[in-house]
Chain A
């Protein structure tokens, strides 16, 4: 079993839809959870950063972490064509080896006008 699983999509939605992106993981030591957005031919851009379980909201974006289920989600409300990108989840442990990020493979999202 891979440490982080992410459905690669592609996911295509109409403008204004609510988008749900998800990752599951197997390593219970992961404590920090991130979502990055990557446009074509660009580097990943940090969207959300959460610690442990719970929700975090930033504008149209909400990140959820359920450590009991080893499941994280990113919700995008009122999706826009400019949200079309690949979304990568990433996570890391706390403690001595806390440098290393483990990434999902990314989900390609297209928002159609």
Chain B
């Protein structure tokens, strides 16, 4: 989706390292979401934010952190406490009564 930019496309993490995934949107939507997708699994919600400076845990928040300092940005940090971080991470935005729209994801792997 052209209005949602996730970077980088691929990311490698060393043991004990924190890494941050970027999600930026120019759609002026209030709500932003982070999901994790594993092979053969549905999408699982990590964190979501419905307004600037506020966010809530999803179903699998342990080992992750987020911030929402600007409406257009919702970065996700995968901390060293997340013991199984290898996955495809998807950012979504929602607004105007429409369903969620997704970015093209970041694939995180362990070195």
Q: Are B48 and A105 in contact (CB under 8 A)?
A: no
Number of interface residues of A (CB under 8 A): 23
Residues of A within 8 A of B94 (CB): 99
In the complex, the chain A residue whose C-beta lies closest to that of B59 is A100
Quick one: which of B33, B42, B103 has the most chain A CB within 10 A? B42
- Within the complex, the shortest CB–CB distance from B41 to chain A, in Å, comes to 6
Q: Are B40 and A8 in contact (CB under 8 A)?
A: yes
A43: contacting residue among B40, B50, B98, B104, CB under 8 A: B104
| The 6 residue pairs across chains A and B that have the minimum distance between CB atoms | A43-B102, A103-B42, A43-B104, A103-B43, A105-B42, A44-B102
Within the assembled complex, what's the spacing in Å between the Cα atoms of A87 and B90? 16
Q: Are A43 and B90 in contact (CB under 8 A)?
A: yes
Q: Are B48 and A99 in contact (CB under 8 A)?
A: yes
Q: Does any Cβ of B come within 8 Å of A29's Cβ?
A: no
Q: Are B45 and A100 in contact (CB under 8 A)?
A: yes
Q: Does any Cβ of B come within 8 Å of A60's Cβ?
A: no
Q: Does any Cβ of A come within 8 Å of B107's Cβ?
A: yes
Q: Does any Cβ of A come within 8 Å of B1's Cβ?
A: yes
Q: Are A99 and B31 in contact (CB under 8 A)?
A: yes
- Within the complex, the shortest CB–CB distance from A40 to chain B, in Å, comes to 11
A-B contact pairs, 22 of them (CB 8 A): A32-B99, A36-B102, A42-B105, A43-B103, A43-B105, A45-B1, A46-B99, A49-B98, A49-B99, A88-B42, A90-B43, A90-B99, A99-B31, A99-B33, A99-B48, A101-B100, A102-B42, A103-B42, A103-B43, A105-B40, A105-B41, A105-B42
Q: Does any Cβ of A come within 8 Å of B29's Cβ?
A: no
Q: Are A41 and B90 in contact (CB under 8 A)?
A: no
Q: Does any Cβ of A come within 8 Å of B101's Cβ?
A: yes
Q: What 1/0 mask marks residues of chain A from 75 to 101 whose CB sits below 8 Å from any chain B CB? A: 000000000000010100000000111
In the complex, the chain B residue whose C-beta lies closest to that of A4 is B42
